[in-house]
Structure 1
Amino acid sequence: MMDMDMPAVFSTSTQITVLFTGWTTSTTTQYVFTLIFLFLLAIFNRFLGALKFQLEKSWSQHPSTPQALLLAPVNRRNIRKAKLSPLPDYIRVHGNDLEEESLAVLNNDNETRSTSRNLKRDGFCNRTSLECLLPSWKASGTWSLPKDGTRALLECVRALIGYFLMLSVMTFNVGVFVVVLFGVLVGELLLGRFSQGSPGWQEGTCHGG
């Protein structure tokens, strides 16, 4: 039988060990400072969620992708015209030709879509094609190291803090449990309006930060 040191019931003791043996509150002052630290950490975790949402919102409003440049105006002096026609040579005036070309393009497009649907339905889709494997995946923009790196770093830090708070609560100390929940409450009251629509990594977990 293994000796389990982890408590299974809540206690009100001021002597607790958080994560490692070096962090043991042997006095009431150390216990109070630990509670204050966990309270601020819970609020900071909510701040990171709001910061991530605001960055995402700013990036979506100011995309860094270059805009399409307008084509240079065509020099009308170089456009040839038929001798007996007021229209330039590149304009086709035969309605039948235009209709035939449009019908041909539509028929080819319909055949291509039909063939693609048949291949996907029959299981002959190319396995290396992301469009076949993940047809509904659409990126919000092109990959960028500053943006994607910042996004990944914030999410990693939030995950680290979330697990830290979760393991702290698992000490089954009443004070730790209360201050972590109170920190989540205060953080949401102060910063919740800055992160509407952004559940983030922590939603639905036991630490809720």
Structure 2
Amino acid sequence: MAHSSGSSGHGSIFTNSRDTPLYSSNWVPSSAGGYAGTCIFLIVLASVLRCLVAFKTVLEQRWLAQARCRRYVVVKGRGTEAGKIESDPAAKAGALITTNGVEENVKIVQSNNEGAIPFRLSIDIPRASLVTVITGVAYLLMLAVMTMNVGYFSSVLAGTFVGELAVGRYAQWEDH
């Protein structure tokens, strides 16, 4: 029977061929050792992806904690913001040492951002860079799986398992 799709016969079936190219025509394992090395590379790459996701989660938690712990100090009787913060029940009374000496009538207010934290270059540029790297690694793994090679597919799954086993507890975040 002839193929009606006009394809070369490869279609969507898995293969276990050792000479499946990965990422370019220059990366074609020619021996069992080369194929094993390629599979080990994919295991490591998938583990790195899980590590990057866990690292991003840890950074997100740290950035959120920094945003919530950002303190605003107001000296009583100065400006209209003082009146707003003075009536804040979450404000804590305290003393502040300034260039003018000890200020007794201050309140230290901790921000309780419930929504998104404000845009900050020191946070948003590293976040965008990290997400770009994560996306690039994920697409490289996707391309490896799309070769329909059973060894490559199994290696990506094994690397995901190893990476999750190693750092999965860091990637858990109740706010997700």
TM-score (norm 2): 0.68
Q: Cα 1:198–1:26, aligned 2, differ >3 Å: closer, same or farther?
A: farther
Where in structure 2 are the equivalents of 1:1-209 lying within 5 Å? 4=8, 7-63=11-67, 67-72=71-76, 140-197=116-173
| Distance in 1 of aligned mates of 2:30 and 2:175 | 38
* Runs of 4+ in structure 1 over 6 Å off: none
Computing the radius of gyration from Cα coordinates, the structure with the larger value is: 1
| Distance in 2 of aligned mates of 1:66 and 1:178 | 46
Q: Cα 1:178–1:166, aligned 2, differ >3 Å: closer, same or farther?
A: same
Task: Give 1:10's aligned amino acid.
Answer: F
Contact 1:65 1:142 in 2 (8 A): no
* Same amino acid, percent of matched pairs: 33
Q: Flag the structure with higher strand content.
A: 2
- SS of 1:68's partner is strand
| Distance in 2 of aligned mates of 1:24 and 1:199 | 43
TM-score (norm 1): 0.58
Deviation at 1:146?
2.2
| Distance in 2 of aligned mates of 1:45 and 1:198 | 21
Task: Give 1:147's aligned amino acid.
Answer: I
| Distance in 1 of aligned mates of 2:19 and 2:175 | 35
What are structure 2's unaligned runs of at least 5 residues? 79-113
Contact 1:48 1:158 in 2 (8 A): yes
What are structure 1's unaligned runs of at least 5 residues? 75-137, 201-209
- SS of 2:73's partner is coil
Deviation at 1:12?
1.6
For each residue in 1:140-185, what CA deviation from the matched residue of structure 2 results, as whole angstroms up to 9, or x when unmatched?
2221122111111111111111111111011111111111111111
Aligned residues: 137
Deviation at 1:39?
0.2
Higher relative contact order (CA 8 A, sep 6+): 1
